[in-house]
Amino acid sequence: MAGVNLAETGRIAARLGFERCAVGFDWAAFVAHRQRYIDAIHAGYRERIDALGIDWVAAAGRFVDAGRIAAGDRTLEAPQIVVATGSRPQRPAFADGVGIDSDGFFALRQQPRRVAIVGNGYVAVELAGVLHALGSEVHLLIRGNRLLGSFDEEIARRLAGLYQADGIAIEAGFDTVGASMQEGEARIVAADGRELRTDTLIWAIGRRPDTRSLDLTAAGVACDAQGRIVVDDRQRTGVPGIHAVGDVTTAPALTPVAIAAGRALADRLFGGRPECRLDADDVPSVIFSHPPLGSVGLTEAAARERHGDAAVKVYSTAFRPMLTALAGGEARSFIKLVCVGEDERIVGLHVLGLGADELLQGFAVAVKMGARKADFDATIAIHPTSAEEIVLIE
């Protein structure tokens, strides 16, 4: 995302007279910088683990029974065991080695000229925005008729409109049933007979819990139909002493959620806080699309289903950010408030546009605290910002 922001800033700067800012993009050089950054993060974690005296075992773990883990040539025993193996990308059975997934994207050493991305979720949407902004021809193949099914429908459709206006081809109703390599090109086939040929094919059709090597049945740990470990609101499985956190469970698949769950678990088991638990209500999330889309709380549809149509009132506004207007752009940002009851308690906030990722965090606190529309109305705006539109919305 950082590379995309720099590229877009350069283009805007060029339109505003800073001609020298319109520079090319060296994919390989950026990948090298990214890898150095990642390596530094990994080194920092290893140093911290060593400093704390934690025993690091570089081997896949497998349950022997409910109290023992086999890892390499060792068998480890503990009264408390935590499973936090995350998730891995899914690939269709018919792919047979054709195309790459999101892991493969990070292994690319040169920029794809033409790319097809299969999927409509956050990974597909983010990769489409990144690759297009850096200059690739992008086709986004979606089985249904909309992006981001778990997000507010109106804001997701506005993002799709921005993508299409910017040149990303969104192929709706493209139910991919076949893929093959022919003469160095990927050939993708839909159920209705449509075909697409491209240089690079990326599968972004979802993720599944990474429990391949764990042998959960040996410990008696139950999973749901999607293979996710079933836990309660305190990360406990049905087996005493075995816990699970993160994407391997049914919790929202977000890194901060996993971190919060792990902290609550540690506080409960070892910090003298037996009632500590993860509160998964009103979790803010951002799609790092181009521009970013942020959401906290209920969608309009969910609010109407939960509280009834009569109790729900929606406020929305669309506007051109100042920088976009200065550069002669037409793309509009969009903000939507979903309120409930006579006191108009804000139960959902959805933002699409420049800075959505940064401004949402502060407003998420207000939503979590139960803010009312009147509280936003009483807050003085900071001008000129996009965030001011949230407290000025009528």
Strand ranges in 67-113 using DSSP code E only, listed in sequence order: 68-71, 74-77, 81-83, 87-89
Last-in-domain residue among 205, 225, 247: 205
User: Annotated catalytic residue: which of 243, 307, 350, 383?
Assistant: 383
252 alpha-carbon distance from chain centroid = 10
Give the count of beta carbons closer than 10 Å to the beta carbon of residue 128: 27
pLDDT score for 333: 96
Read off the CATH number of the domain in which 160 is found.
3.50.50.60
3-class DSSP state for residue 139? strand
pLDDT score for 335: 98
Q: Mention every residue, 6+ apart, whose C-beta is less than 8 A from residue 83.
A: 211, 214, 221, 229, 242, 243, 244, 245, 248
Tell me if 127 is assigned to some domain. Answer: yes
What domain count does the chain have? 3
Tell me if 61 is assigned to some domain. Answer: no
- Tell me which amino acid residue 192 is: D
pLDDT score for 96: 87
Last-in-domain residue among 151, 170, 205: 205
Tell me if 271 is assigned to some domain. Answer: no
- Tell me which amino acid residue 255 is: T
Read off the CATH number of the domain in which 331 is found.
3.30.390.30
Last-in-domain residue among 145, 174, 205: 205
∠ CA 301-305-308, rounded to 5°: 110
pTM: 0.92
Q: Looking at the structure, do residues 34 and 108 belong to the same domain, yes or no?
A: no
Tell me if 274 is assigned to some domain. Answer: no
Rounded distance between C-alpha atoms, residue 348 and residue 345, angstroms: 9
Domain residue limits at 8? 1-56
Tell me if 147 is assigned to some domain. Answer: yes
Tell me if 2 is assigned to some domain. Answer: yes
Q: Looking at the structure, do residues 143 and 40 belong to the same domain, yes or no?
A: no
pLDDT score for 5: 62
pLDDT score for 15: 67
Tell me if 71 is assigned to some domain. Answer: no
**pLDDT-flagged residues of the chain (< 50):** none
215 touches 84 (CB < 8 A)? no
Give the count of beta carbons closer than 10 Å to the beta carbon of residue 189: 17
Tell me if 171 is assigned to some domain. Answer: yes
Answer yes or no: 383 catalytic.
Answer: yes
State in Å, rounded, how far the first CA of the chain is from the last one.
32
pLDDT score for 21: 58
